[in-house]
Amino acid sequence: MLPTPAEGSLNNGVINLDHQATTPCHPAVIEAMEPWWREQWGNASSRQHRLGLTAAAAVSSARNTLADSLGVESDEVIFTSGATEANNLALLGHARFRARTAGGPGHLISVASEHHAVLDPLQQLRQEGFELTLLTPRPDGLIETTQLEQAIQPNTQLVSVMVANNEIGVIQPVQELSTICRNHGITMHTDAAQAYGHLPVNMQHLGCSLLSVSAHKFNGPKGIGALVARKGTGLDPLFWGGGQEQGLRPGTLPVPLIVGLAAAATLAKADQAARLTRLGALRDQLWHDLKQRNPGLLLNGTLHPRLAHNLNITVPGISGSRLQRALKSQLACSSGSACSSGAPSHVLRAIGRSRTEAEASLRLSLGRDTTAIDIERAVAVLTETIQAGATGRP
């Protein structure tokens, strides 16, 4: 039997600092979606009657909203089930297109600290004959433009570097990297799942050709995202049937989710500047107070440039599994990527943390509803847990 909402609720005193794993769907987004589940239940591809035409108009409006927010044309937006699918379509779709038109697979470049939704498709392409170079980030989590320049080969076809890291929150110099790629005739993709909705993200400014987003990272519904592909960027589909989304993502469009994505994008843009300021101040307070009370804590990744709502710390000398068990009933946070299989974070290992240090690390991510009281409580809970662990108290 499935748990009821009450049984699965976090409204039981647990402090929620795991908003990079996902975010609650905003009430305004739920309200925007509601009519499209029931009254307006038409298929956007069935345009012989009013229900279908109304659904198609809703999809078109949502596509325009997302396109406007990213500074692109509406026909450059391809709806997907989320950033993972968008990354796969971007990487597999474009690399295979390039191999088909160039007469064979070429060279790909990414970063060792990327999300597995990028790394795994790249490994698949490696099995298909592509060469792959993974750049090692500096200890602060960032890569230098010279690293990319030195890695480029005559047959380099595609580079993928995320805007903001999903674990340590550092913001990569995507604009500069895109300029390098453009000067060499290389396609640039960026996974913006953790950035869009939290940072100003404009493809004209970034200069990339492919960009992935996911609604549930900015208070939208799960199961919907988009790949933005600039005109002239070739893509081979990953599957076929129906012809929707320019033949690149066939299947019946989830109209309520698409409406929800657009509503969340509008909401995020409306309060983005104020939210960045507020959450940045709360995050800085969290780090200051934790460090003051626990001087041995280590910060993972540079503090600037970094997502305003992200803090990732290592607690030296404490068992990571014990730390997580002690916190579970009081604080919702992550020991690494929300998609981790339990192995030590490859991101933290890439920036030089040992296996033990990576296991004893916490990602604390704030959300739209995080308050100063939440921060105070989190500092108290973490300090008590850390100091109890350091002394070996149960």
Residues tagged active-site = 339
**Residue type at 100 in one-letter notation:** R
Q: How far apart are CA 190 and CA 202, in angstroms?
A: 12
What Cα–Cα distance (Å) separates residue 308 from each residue in 3, 176, 203, 255? Answer: 34, 21, 21, 32
Q: Is 63 helix (H, G, I), strand (E, B) or coil?
A: helix
Judge whether 156 and 97 are in contact, CB under 8 Å: no
What would the two tokens of residue 268 be? 């995020």
Q: How far apart are CA 80 and CA 78, in angstroms?
A: 6
**177: β partners:** none
Q: How far apart are CA 23 and CA 374, in angstroms?
A: 16
**170: β partners:** 306
Q: How far is CA 381 from the centre of its chain?
A: 28
The residue to which tokens 């698409």 are assigned: 258
Number of helices followed by number of strands (H, E) in the chain: 13, 12
Start-to-end CA distance of the chain, whole Å, equals 35
Q: How far apart are CA 20 and CA 239, in angstroms?
A: 29
Q: How far apart are CA 229 and CA 225, in angstroms?
A: 13
Element (H, E) at 56: helix 50-70
Quote the crossing angle between the two packed helices 272-293 and 255-270, to the nearest 10°. Answer: 70
Which of 193, 371, 217 is CA-nearest to residue 281?
Answer: 371
